Amino acid sequence: MRAITMNLLACAMTIALGGCVVGPDYKRPDTPQAKGYTPTPLPAATDTAPVGGGNAQRLVEGMDIPGQWWTLFHSEALNALIDDALKHNADLTAAKAGLRAAWENVYAQRGAYFPVVTTGLNPTRQKIAKDLASPAASGESMYSLTTAQVSVSYTPDLWGGNRRQVESLMAQADAQRFELEATYLTLTSNVVNAAIQEASLRAQIAAQEQIVASQQSIVDSFQRQHALGQASDLDVAAQVAALEQSRAALPPLQKQLSQQRDLLAALTGRMPDDQIDAKFELDGLQLPEELPVSLPASLVNQRPDVRAADAQLHAASAQVGVAIANRLPNVQINATLGSASTKASELFHGGSGFWNIGGSVTQPLFDGGNLKHKQRAAEAAYQQSIATYRSTVIAAAQNVADVLHAIQLDATALAATQRADSAAQHSFDVAQRQLALGDVSQVAMLNALVTRQQALMALAQARAGRYSDTAALFQALGGGWWHRDDAAVSKAK
């Protein structure tokens, strides 16, 4: 019997492996032929900021991206905070668990390549009605029966339906892998941007506090002049209104700073009441001077969202094959080997054994169009995935183009803001010298100081914009996940 069973399984496996695979074989879409991201070439370098905002940035075509790109900002506090976030962020933990679950589904489906073997032991006590003949050899109407058996059931994968299902699940696991990479990239980018915004807000708050202090001095001066009859009520009221407007601008900045601290706590897996020691200032960040620019043909391999869309397209393609296979004849082979006895002690004695072997072929004839429409749905889903992939590629290229434009204009805006700041500083210096000579009033000098502090606020915003868009470029180009030592493993076990 064992020889018969082994020959049966060998025959079935031969049939399965020799079967065809229905449905389309997946071919990855062609890479974009575009040579750049703008109708006309972008300048190779940005404008140079005179001071404080970093030097010109050079765009280097084909430059690779390090896996830990945020280290290019040369902030130990930022590096430590991102390491902390990678260890404790719940979204990243969830994405890793999702990847493990996806691969377990692949392994589970692979089990359908092999026969299903079950074993059972069934002891019973039976009584036969007096009008019926007893099946027991002794002829007794009450007897015990113990049955032990092994059953083998096997469905050859004649049309490759199971192979297509495994292919689909493997593609879904790849998609989940790139969802994990996207989560990783989003997390690290969010931490960098939150740190940059915190640094910018601290600079803006300091400048706004100086504006408030200067305007308070102006109000005090007008009030003294009013007491001497040298200023009208209208003059005093106008200066008080300006002071209160400046004071009113502080709470929104302070609120944003508190929210950035809350965001950093959440990104690192903390509750809002947990203390974060790191504090960020613009002068503590260094602007990278060389920036990578990948061609669109390379971008589709680097962006996790594009790779995930490609994997989803592959999964949808395989599902068409599954739907086709479900409409074709199905073969199933069954075999049972066992032993039965009225005495448990004689269960495996000679003459108590039994076996059977058989097969079946089934072909759907009428199901109300169920399988036909499922195939059409799978084909439509495949076409939907093609369009989704194309849309994702276009959106990715647009994202890179937007950031490249922003980087160029950020540098121009920063240079203009610095010129305005230099002019405000010069005006303030002149006012101070003239005040010392008695040529202008203290109020004029304080007004020049307010203008200077307003220029500093604009400068902080412009500097932060340059840092943020630099980080956005690394994110838009995929973040260098392919160089990380801890990158998710894509190969099956």
pLDDT digit string, tens, across residues 294-346: 889 999 999 999 999 999 999 999 999 999 999 999 999 999 999 988 888 88
The number of angstroms, rounded, from the C-alpha of 309 to the middle of its chain's C-alpha atoms is 12
Query: SS3 of 271, please?
Result: coil
Largest Cα–Cα distance in the chain? 133
Domains contained in the chain, CATH given = 21-114+158-328+369-483 (1.20.1600.10)
More confident of the two residues 493 and 92 = 92
In percent, how much of the chain has pLDDT > 90? 59
Give the relative orientation of helices 161-227 and 442-476 as an angle to the nearest 10 degrees.
180
Parallel, antiparallel, or unpaired: how do β-strands 330-341 and 290-293 relate? unpaired
* C-alpha separations of 277 from 200, 261, 357 in Å: 18, 10, 72
160 backbone φψ class: left, alpha, beta (φ>0; ψ -120 to 50): left
Of the listed ranges 5-9, 24-28, 129-133, 227-231, the one predicted with least confidence: 5-9
pLDDT surpassing 50 at residue 193: yes
More confident of the two residues 12 and 431 = 431
Q: What is the pLDDT of residue 489?
A: 47
pLDDT surpassing 70 at residue 50: no
Question: 50 CB contacts (<8 Å, ≥6 apart)?
Answer: 415, 418, 419, 422
**CA pair distance 328, 46, nearest whole angstrom:** 63
**CA pair distance 290, 310, nearest whole angstrom:** 30
Mean pLDDT of 39-58: 73
pLDDT surpassing 50 at residue 9: no
Q: What is the pLDDT of residue 439?
A: 77
Query: SS3 of 349, please?
Result: coil
pLDDT confidence bin for 209, thresholds 50/70/90: very high
Question: Are 127 and 142 in contact, with CB atoms under 8 Å apart?
Answer: yes
Mean pLDDT of 254-279: 93
Tokens 């140079």 label which residue? 48
Q: What is the pLDDT of residue 431?
A: 79
Q: What is the pLDDT of residue 48?
A: 62
pLDDT confidence bin for 291, thresholds 50/70/90: very high
**CA pair distance 296, 62, nearest whole angstrom:** 11
Q: What is the pLDDT of residue 12?
A: 47
Q: What is the pLDDT of residue 78?
A: 96
pLDDT confidence bin for 451, thresholds 50/70/90: confident
The CB density around residue 63, as the number of other CB atoms within 10 Å, is: 13
Mean pLDDT of 408-422: 88
Spatial strand order in the sheet of 116-127: 116-127, 142-154, 330-341, 353-362
pLDDT surpassing 70 at residue 19: no
pLDDT surpassing 80 at residue 47: no
pLDDT surpassing 70 at residue 8: no
pLDDT, mean over the chain? 88
**CA pair distance 439, 467, nearest whole angstrom:** 42
**CA pair distance 253, 265, nearest whole angstrom:** 19
* C-alpha separations of 129 from 126, 133, 136, 144 in Å: 10, 8, 13, 15
Question: Are 220 and 119 in contact, with CB atoms under 8 Å apart?
Answer: no
Of the listed ranges 60-74, 370-384, 416-430, the one predicted with least confidence: 416-430
Q: Give residue 468's identity as a one-letter amino acid code.
A: S
pLDDT surpassing 50 at residue 243: yes
pLDDT surpassing 60 at residue 14: no
pLDDT surpassing 70 at residue 68: yes
Question: Are 78 and 280 in contact, with CB atoms under 8 Å apart?
Answer: yes
Q: The tokens of 319 are what?
A: 């599902």
Question: 49 CB contacts (<8 Å, ≥6 apart)?
Answer: 55, 56, 411, 414, 415, 418, 466
